[in-house]
Structure 1
């Protein structure tokens, strides 16, 4: 499986995973409590600079953001259709800044670090008998790990369609993508159960 992690020695790489996740949470709160376009634009510039420092080439950096950026543009267009232009710009800037910093976090944090931190955060819920902390950590780790895999499969299916002269349409691409993703998920679940990794809170 592919990984979103990028080897490097940037400041983001050196920060503990907990600190990065905390900053991401605080940033989200700040972004969604202001409607000042100047401040939000500054936020986009700062988070963009942080993302550009993680060690990705321009092509790789843009390729990683394309799917999320398209979603953000759709949200902004819907906002523009039902709200004044100011609201649409605010939504676009908020989500873009958050996306850039989140991308920087995932590029500089290993899967094991994600799992460790999420497992630690879930410990109080485990003590309350609600969930198994290790299961929560494993689930989050698998989600993060599956993102580049799904994007890679999507690109491969598109290229296969193009090579065969088939017009690329959402239905013809998404159907095999969903089937392959479900198959992989079943295989991973079976492997996890076979090794007795998952446990349940009684």
Structure 2
């Protein structure tokens, strides 16, 4: 499996993994506490600047975002069908800003750094008997490593649409993408269990 990490020396690369994850959590809370359109637009623009300054070519950087943005756009359109336009725009801006900053974090943080920080964070709940820190770290690492596979699936579906002359629409992309992702997730889970990586509680 490929990694989303991109070698570089940008400001985001030099920030510690812990600081980036804390900033991502704080941004998520701040975004969902605000309904001010101007602030949300500024947040989306600021996170776009951060994301496009990490050193990726523009086309490659945009391609990474496309599958997630299609999902966000679908959510916003669904919200528009049942809510005033303001609510749909707020949802679109919130999720877009969060997606851009999260993409910048994943592109400038290695999988090992992710797993180490998440495992450390989960040590306290582990002492209380609520979870297993190593298992949580493994789960987060797998999620991050799985994203490039989803991007590859999206590209394959897009090329299949083009070869058949079918117009690319969110509904015709998301359904096969979800099915293929779930199938791969089952295969990975079976491989992990077969190797005894996950510890089972009887």
Shorter-chain TM-score bucket reads 0.7 to 0.9
> Partner of 1:23 in structure 2?
23
Question: Tell me, what secondary structure is at the counterpart of 2:5?
Answer: coil
> Partner of 1:36 in structure 2?
36
8 Å contact 2:5–2:109 — kept in the other structure? yes
Compared with structure 1, are the counterparts of its residues 176 and 41 closer, same or farther at alpha carbon in structure 2 (3 Å cutoff)? closer
Superposed, 1:84-103 pairs within 5 Å as 84-103=84-103
Question: Where in structure 1 do 4 or more consecutive aligned residues deviate above 6 Å?
Answer: 168-173
Report the number of matched residues: 200
In 2, Cα distance between the equivalents of 1:187 and 1:158?
23
Compared with structure 1, are the counterparts of its residues 3 and 80 closer, same or farther at alpha carbon in structure 2 (3 Å cutoff)? same
Compared with structure 1, are the counterparts of its residues 90 and 181 closer, same or farther at alpha carbon in structure 2 (3 Å cutoff)? closer
Whose radius of gyration is greater, 1 or 2? 1
Compared with structure 1, are the counterparts of its residues 121 and 200 closer, same or farther at alpha carbon in structure 2 (3 Å cutoff)? farther
8 Å contact 2:154–2:173 — kept in the other structure? no
In 1, Cα distance between the equivalents of 2:173 and 2:103?
29
In 2, Cα distance between the equivalents of 1:179 and 1:92?
26
Question: Tell me, what secondary structure is at the counterpart of 2:39?
Answer: helix
Larger CA deviation: 70-79 vs 173-182 = 173-182
1:47-70 C-alpha deviation (Å, 9 max, x unpaired)? 010001111111111111111111
